[in-house]
Structure 1
Amino acid sequence: MKLLLVEDQPAMQTTLERAFQRRGIRVTICGDGARALDRWQASVPDVVVLDLSLPGLDGLQVLSQARAAGLKTPVLILTARGTVGDRILGLDTGADDYLPKPFDLDELEARIRALARRSDAAAPPASAGPRPFNGLSCDDASAAVYFRGVPLDLAPREAALLRALLVKPGHAVSKERLFELVFPGEPDVQFEAIEVVVYRLRKKLADTGTQVVNLRGLGYLLKSAP
């Protein structure tokens, strides 16, 4: 499970990050309300844990803007504001659950997993795999990528990147997600290495009429060349 923790207190960040990681939850931390929405859009998590008292934008403003932008990730509000009015305001803004501080870690984890299960149950079926696009196609058995029936000379990482983009052509895939797919189980590889693979793939697609486009803050997508 991927969790975005939006919390500005360093001690709370450290405590929750360690606790979640021990429980097998991958945590991305953001301590600033103004940057939280960018992090949310760049790599859509399974659940967001959102504090209300944040620098930049407060938690309710972040939540309101996220919902206005079409982000439907389940949100659990975590805050010292414990009045009924605050809880109602948070839920009316688009939160899915509310847990006042101080809280029990086991209860927090249980609520997070419940939100993730509810979201999974409501999600549409996942794509079966890469789709044909602009003359490009994949062989499911060999994982090879073809252009108009001719196999492309791609390195394994280039092929993995192209297959990931072919799952939903025209839609951005975040750098974080692409990194996971292209460098699985390689924690020592620098995050910027994904840009090198993109550069090499672009060169090999130069004559296919398909481009790899970088959408700032969102990731990469495939589109037909003009």
Structure 2
Amino acid sequence: MTVQQNIMVVDDEPGLRKLLNLLFTNAGYRVHEVSSGAECLQKLGEIHPDLVVLDVMMPELDGREVCARIRGEGNQVPVLMLTARTQSRDVVLGLDCGADDYLAKPFDMDELLARVRALLRRAQGTQRTRVVGMGEITIDIQTRVVKVKGEVVELTPTEYALLAVLAEHAGTVVRHDTLLEAVWGPNSQHDQDYLKVYMWYLRRKIEPKAGRNPRLLLTEWGVGYRMVQ
């Protein structure tokens, strides 16, 4: 029997909450509606959602602050942000607070469902029981534990997914569009702001002392990225 996954919808607009509830329920998910950022933080530990769909523009406590607090508590639940703001800077700010994905309003329902499925797949991970090693980095595929020089490195689901794709193709260049589709879904091939931000996050954790001269995660300018074997 398949376990029903829980989605927490956080939005101060009742109409949008109702619409998303209907959409996700019809897709087979269990939905929990939350009307404010404060209520989200309060109920997160009670509901233990598999995914949080979080509106950015809310009164008192906005979505970015809520996401930052979730990450500050060490909770790595996947977070998908919804916003009317579409400027690159706004996207970067959303990702910078720890969100895993970012979708602008008005959005296509099929695209939203596709991104939700992609985030949930990444969070579940693969069931293969093996450890991949590339020099100083080891990745336990089943437990999703990443170590650098024997020390555990804490990664968000999106950071882990990005590292896993690069590790799978270690030694070869992975194109921008290939990475975007593998990590963010088929409708994200042109969202290179996501990729730049998360590569910066990943390098900061994997090679904290490398600065502008990474040795493990290399940029192939105009093409993509490559993990050194």
Q: TM-score range by the shorter chain?
A: 0.5 to 0.7
Q: Which has the larger radius of gyration?
A: 1
State the SS of the aligned residue for 1:76.
Answer: strand
Residues 1:107 and 2:111 are matched in the alignment: yes
What displacement does 1:46 show? 0.9
- Which residue in 2 is equivalent to 1:85? 89
- Which residue in 1 is equivalent to 2:98? 94
Q: 1:73 aligns with which of 67, 73, 77?
A: 77
Shift of the 75–123 alpha-carbon distance from structure 1 to 2, 3 Å rule, reads farther
- Which residue in 2 is equivalent to 1:33? 37
State the SS of the aligned residue for 1:102.
Answer: coil
CA distance in 2, matches of 1:123, 1:73: 17
What displacement does 1:123 show? 6.9
Which residue identity is paired with 1:68? G
Unaligned ranges ≥5, structure 2: 126-140, 145-229
CA distance in 2, matches of 1:69, 1:75: 14
Q: Which stretches of structure 1, 4 residues or more, deviate above 2 A after TM superposition? A: 122-125
Query: What fraction of aligned residue pairs are identical, expressed as a percent?
Result: 45
Which residue identity is paired with 2:86? G
What displacement does 1:91 show? 0.5
Which residue identity is paired with 1:101? K
Q: What whole-Å deviation, never above 9, does each CA across 1:89-120 have from its counterpart, x for those lacking one?
A: 01011000000000011110110010000010
Q: 1:50 aligns with which of 51, 54, 75?
A: 54
- Which residue in 2 is equivalent to 1:204? none
CA distance in 2, matches of 1:85, 1:113: 26
- Which residue in 2 is equivalent to 1:192? none
State the SS of the aligned residue for 2:31.
Answer: strand
- Of stretches 89-98 and 39-48 in structure 1, the one that deviates more from structure 2 is 39-48
- Which residue in 2 is equivalent to 1:18? 22
Q: What whole-Å deviation, never above 9, does each CA across 1:60-105 have from its counterpart, x for those lacking one?
A: 1100111000110011101111111110001011000000000011
Q: Supply the RMSD in Å over aligned alpha carbons.
A: 1.5
CA distance in 1, matches of 2:39, 2:20: 20
Shift of the 123–111 alpha-carbon distance from structure 1 to 2, 3 Å rule, reads farther
- Which residue in 1 is equivalent to 2:131? none
Which residue identity is paired with 1:94? G
- Which residue in 1 is equivalent to 2:143? 124
Which residue identity is paired with 1:25? Y
CA distance in 2, matches of 1:112, 1:86: 21
What displacement does 1:57 show? 0.7
- Of stretches 40-49 and 63-72 in structure 1, the one that deviates more from structure 2 is 40-49
CA distance in 2, matches of 1:58, 1:17: 21
Unaligned ranges ≥5, structure 1: 126-226
Q: How does 1:141-152 map to 2 (within 5 A)?
A: none
